[in-house]
Amino acid sequence: MDVWRYTQSGFNEQDAVTNGNRFLVGNGFMGYRGTMDEWGREQLAAVCLAGVYDQNGGKWREPVNAPNGLFAELTLHGKPVALGRTEPSEHSQTVDFRRGTHSRDTRFPGVRIQSERFASMARPHLLMSRLAITFYEGGDAELKTGVVTDIWDINGPHLFGHTFNDGRVLMCESRTGELGIPVAVAQAADCGFGCGEKRKITDTGVYRFIRFRAEAGKTYYVTLASAVFTGMDDPDPGESALSLCEKALAEGYESCLKAHEAVWDGIWQDCAVELRGDDSAALALNASLYHLNSIAPRHAESLSIPARGLSGQTYKGAVFWDSEIFLFPVFVHTQPELAKTLLRYRIDTLPGALRKADEYGFRGAFYAWESQEGGVEGCTDYNVTDVFTHRPVRTYFRDKQIHISGDIAYAFWRYYEITGDLSLLKQGGAEVILQCARFYLSRTHLRADTGKAELLDVIGPDEYHERVNNSAFTNQMAAHCMENALALGDVFAEHDPDFVGSLIKKLDFEQDMELIRALLPKLRPTFPEGGLVEQFDGYFKLEDCTLEEVRGRVLDEREYWGTNHGVAAHTQIIKQADVIALAALFPALFSDETVERNWRYYEPRTEHGSSLSACMYALTACRFGRPDLAWEHFIKTASIDLAGGGKHWAGEIYIGGTHPAANGGAWMIAALGFAGLEIRGGELTLRPCLPKQIQSLRFPVTLRGKRIRVTVTHDGFSVEDA
């Protein structure tokens, strides 16, 4: 098996949406779904842009899909040759993880269409494709290409006022409806053979029609270059798009591809994991790392990754806690500059977090649960539609999932612990930690009768149970944030002793520091040694039934299990890892015995209704020496996008797409679980727990500016310079 290439043979129209995710190409600036050259909005073809949002009327805000500049449809003998309308005799499509390319090979009656495309890693605004059309019989042929404005949107349209240029380089310039952001898409074509060309502007875009007399047995090559710019990244997006298309065609497809592949080579040198012993697992792990690196914002200094990556507009293109808890660990261990980019996004969106806290009557920083540009809260009060009444259901993700601020502070602290780099804390990270601590100070209730500090009316990672009190995960995240706020002075004592004092004075934080010192011992949760950790107050009093029993109560496969009337809400069945996530993120707080007891209690009660769940169970199973229990969760996590797994509906809301959190989780299981990698205070330790299916693991880690290579086998491990 080639563990670097995934191929699907045969054609099933029902797979079109899922394949759009599986075969995605991207470069952090944009993602191009893995659809056919001739497909459009009906098959969810899309060019999804990172960080560009729009709201149409009262619908949900979501990322903007750009016009499609790689559209290409063949007509032979006056009839369209298109997958889904013309029955193929053979069909396959492939994603090459190492090279970052998507290709298709389709044989129709009389003609074979092959194509390859990539979203350039070397030039983030560039998309290129090369078509090879082989005719088995001669005849009149026409290839229709262009920039298509009739595009897929979930809550659109988002682009208005299209103006077109039908010159040698085709151009469409538009503006978003809400903020008027310019979006320009250009396309240039090189036929490489004698042909006639006609250009035309229609109500669905601007097109070129390449007409020629095809000869039997001959292959015709066409190269397309499409450039996408917005007013957020260029003062003259139209001119830049035109210029880039011309340059790309002048250099040629092979030259541009070579530059793109060179960047991918560097990425794989930084993060590739060589897994020997199970080729299917190796393929799935490579797929996970490919998808995660395809959407990493290398083009930006301050940007994060949406919960569904760049595969579409699902989840409003928002950034969740996934970014810090599931994606950040991969990058901070392999590509620290990308970890900084993700965290700079949180520094730059701090003003939004301050506004949100104030909106709810609190001080400090309450980060958006679904963060869009500038920290705008994309989460609504009605996030689910009931499948029975078709009415919106009030959910409390926006206002009660307060652990988000602690998750972000946790990542800033881990960045410092792993890299030893104080610059990010000085550039705003320390202020983020202090403001998040101030929020928890403001949000905490202090009981007059017991003196106990409590965080009431919250939602932990398990979203099936809303508005609970003293979530163990949430309380620990808040306490950890406060501890870090107090520890900042010690961190800077040697290198910049005046920094923290000046910052505290600037933020008028002196009194808050004293209040935190007094409050922290009353809030910090205590966990019974070897005992069960109650997920939240009263959890153990809920109905203790099996997962199968709850599934048996489901009347519609799309119904949501949470909220007041959900089938799981009044039971101990949970959506995803909660207490187990706590054990994974704070290993020093729990003995292996405690982790195992809680694992065995909570795992049978976990539906794993989120792609974030399985990796936490795999990580903690390695803690107590059971890689056999971790293996199933590893395979589920790593193969989720290849298998088309994960939930596609929450109520009547479509939530499909790629799964960056699971992609990051797959690396975490391999490196932090199976290899037992841990970095504390600049020191690397290994505590391997290899499953029998794996003969060896070999992977790079960047530790304080130096790349090293870790090798783990059943006979031992080694660490060497890479």
Question: What count of residues does the chain have?
Answer: 722
Tell which of 249, 270, 291 closes a domain.
270
The CATH code of the domain that includes 680 is 1.50.10.10
Asked if residues 146 and 187 have their Cβ atoms less than 8 Å apart, the reply is yes
Query: Are residues 276 and 185 located together in one domain of the fold?
Result: no
Query: Are residues 58 and 179 located together in one domain of the fold?
Result: yes
Query: Are residues 241 and 169 located together in one domain of the fold?
Result: yes
Asked if residues 353 and 366 have their Cβ atoms less than 8 Å apart, the reply is yes
Does residue 463 carry a catalytic annotation? yes
Asked if residues 657 and 294 have their Cβ atoms less than 8 Å apart, the reply is no
Tell which of 270, 304, 327 closes a domain.
270
Query: Are residues 248 and 383 located together in one domain of the fold?
Result: no
Query: Are residues 215 and 309 located together in one domain of the fold?
Result: no
SS3 assignment, position 716: strand
Query: Are residues 247 and 391 located together in one domain of the fold?
Result: no
Query: Are residues 65 and 126 located together in one domain of the fold?
Result: yes
Q: Rounded CA gap, 411 and 253, in Å?
A: 40
pLDDT for residue 314: 92
Query: Are residues 40 and 177 located together in one domain of the fold?
Result: yes
Q: Rounded CA gap, 237 and 605, in Å?
A: 52
Return the DSSP state at 707: E
Give residue-wise pLDDT tens across range 691-713.
999 999 999 999 999 999 999 99
- Considering the candidates 377, 463, 596, 603, report the single residue annotated as catalytic: 463
Element (H, E) at 663: helix 660-668
pLDDT for residue 652: 60
Tell which of 241, 270, 299 closes a domain.
270
Query: Are residues 150 and 282 located together in one domain of the fold?
Result: no
Q: Rounded CA gap, 600 and 151, in Å?
A: 48
Let me know if 218 is exposed, middle or buried by CB neighbors in 10 A (0-12, 13-18, 19+).
exposed
pLDDT for residue 384: 87
> CA 720: distance to chain centroid?
31
In b/e form, how buried is each residue of 129-168, taking b as 16+ CB within 10 angstroms?
bbbebebeeeeebbbbbbbbbebbbbbbbbbeebebbbee
pLDDT for residue 196: 84
Query: CA distances (Å), 118 to each of 74, 288, 428, 517, 695, in order?
Result: 20, 18, 36, 54, 34
pLDDT for residue 383: 85
Tokens 């980060």 sit on residue? 367
pLDDT for residue 651: 61
Cis status, amide bond into 660, omega within 30 of 0: no
What residue ranges of the chain have pLDDT lower than 70?
646-653
Q: Shortest CA distance to 274 belongs to which of 682, 692, 581, 675?
A: 675
Query: Are residues 390 and 489 located together in one domain of the fold?
Result: yes
Query: CA distances (Å), 123 to each of 27, 260, 270, 337, 465, in order?
Result: 9, 8, 20, 19, 45
Q: Rounded CA gap, 22 and 288, in Å?
A: 10
Q: Rounded CA gap, 252 and 257, in Å?
A: 9
pLDDT for residue 291: 98
Domain residues for 361? 272-721
Query: Are residues 256 and 278 located together in one domain of the fold?
Result: no
pLDDT for residue 109: 94
Domain count, the chain: 2
Query: Are residues 305 and 265 located together in one domain of the fold?
Result: no
Nearest 5°: the CA angle 410, 413, 417 is 130
Q: Rounded CA gap, 559 and 571, in Å?
A: 16
